[in-house]
């Protein structure tokens, strides 16, 4: 069996000063999650988190698929199913990874099973018109326990979520857009430019304001409103104490672009 290099099956590059592009690179296996890919994606998440200059990450796939989920050939060979998880990130080194930065999925093709769960773990998604989305685990005697069983019902109407989970049938990109699963659908050749343009718009904003706003917004469906209001009040105090909170109004008054320091 070929031993894969985690740094080859997950490619990492910078786009300008503040955006990272992370590419799943097992096109011959439809970017299915192997042990090496899970390790590589775990490393990529940690690299983004550790780099103060990076503000946004774009996650995409090489080839015709975004990600086909767990590598069933590895599993059929007797590998421990948990070998495609990491202690910090869960499945694929990603789905339960603690992340402060914004992640945008650029879904270049089918995102199914664990691949769909990876997309659901991202904050935003831009999809190619060729993309499809589904949780076919039940067709293989498995279950979508890497987030799909509870994240999908939060994102689409309950009946549709249960239908997708119980039937294993996918939906196409156009329907995913109508349901709000993806932010927009574009032609395949426009996918990465569109995702990078969105990343650039986010990266142009005050980094602490984005990071802390995301931190609260991600909890909006998990915490009751009184608790969220208390957290929002505390966030106001923290934001107002930053240099960037003073720089933003000053730059507006002086008719110039703000110079964020992240402090």
Q: What is the mean pLDDT of each run of 10 residues along the chain (263 residues)?
A: 85 95 97 96 97 97 96 74 86 96 98 98 97 96 96 96 97 97 97 98 96 94 92 94 94 94 87
Asked if 207 and 262 touch (Cβ cutoff 8 Å), the reply is yes
CA separation for the pair 22, 44 (Å, rounded) = 7
CA separation for the pair 140, 99 (Å, rounded) = 31
Residue tagged active-site, from 4, 15, 74, 117? 117
Helix (H) or strand (E) run with residue 127 in it: strand 124-128
CA-closest candidate to residue 146, choices 78, 223, 215, 93: 93
Let me know if 137 is a catalytic residue. yes
pLDDT at residue number 78: 60
CA separation for the pair 124, 202 (Å, rounded) = 11
Residue tagged active-site, from 137, 163, 189, 231? 137
Prediction pTM value: 0.94
Three-state SS at 116: helix
Residue 19, CB half-sphere, CA atoms under 13 Å: how many? 19
CA separation for the pair 120, 111 (Å, rounded) = 10
Let me know if 189 is a catalytic residue. no
Tally of CB atoms within 10 A around 261: 12
């Amino acid at each position: 069996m070929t031993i894969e290099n985690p740094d080859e099956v997950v490619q990492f590059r910078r786009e300008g000063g503040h955006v990272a592009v992370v590419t799943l690179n097992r096109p011959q296996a439809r970017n299915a999650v192997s042990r090496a890919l899970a390790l590589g994606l775990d490393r990529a998440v940690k690299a983004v988190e550790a780099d103060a200059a990076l503000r946004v990450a774009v996650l995409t796939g090489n080839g015709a698929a975004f990600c086909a989920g767990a590598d069933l050939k590895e599993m059929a060979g007797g590998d421990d199913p948990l070998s495609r998880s990491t202690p910090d990130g869960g499945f694929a080194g990603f789905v339960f990874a603690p992340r402060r930065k914004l992640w945008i999925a650029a879904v270049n093709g089918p995102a199914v099973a664990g691949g769909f769960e990876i997309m659901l773990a991202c904050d935003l998604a831009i999809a190619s018109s060729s993309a499809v989305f589904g949780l076919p685990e039940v067709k293989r005697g498995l279950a979508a326990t890497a987030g799909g069983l509870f994240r999908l019902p939060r994102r689409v109407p309950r009946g549709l979520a249960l239908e997708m989970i119980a039937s294993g049938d996918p939906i196409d990109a156009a329907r995913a857009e109508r349901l709000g699963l993806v932010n927009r659908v574009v032609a395949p050749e426009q996918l990465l430019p569109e995702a990078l343009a969105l990343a650039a718009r986010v990266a142009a904003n005050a980094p602490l304001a984005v990071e802390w706003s995301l931190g609260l917004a991600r909890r909006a469906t998990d915490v009751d409103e009184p608790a969220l209001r208390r957290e929002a009040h505390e966030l106001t105090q923290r934001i107002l104490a930053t240099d960037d909170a003073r720089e933003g109004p000053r730059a507006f008054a002086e008719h110039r672009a703000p110079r964020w320091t992240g402090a």
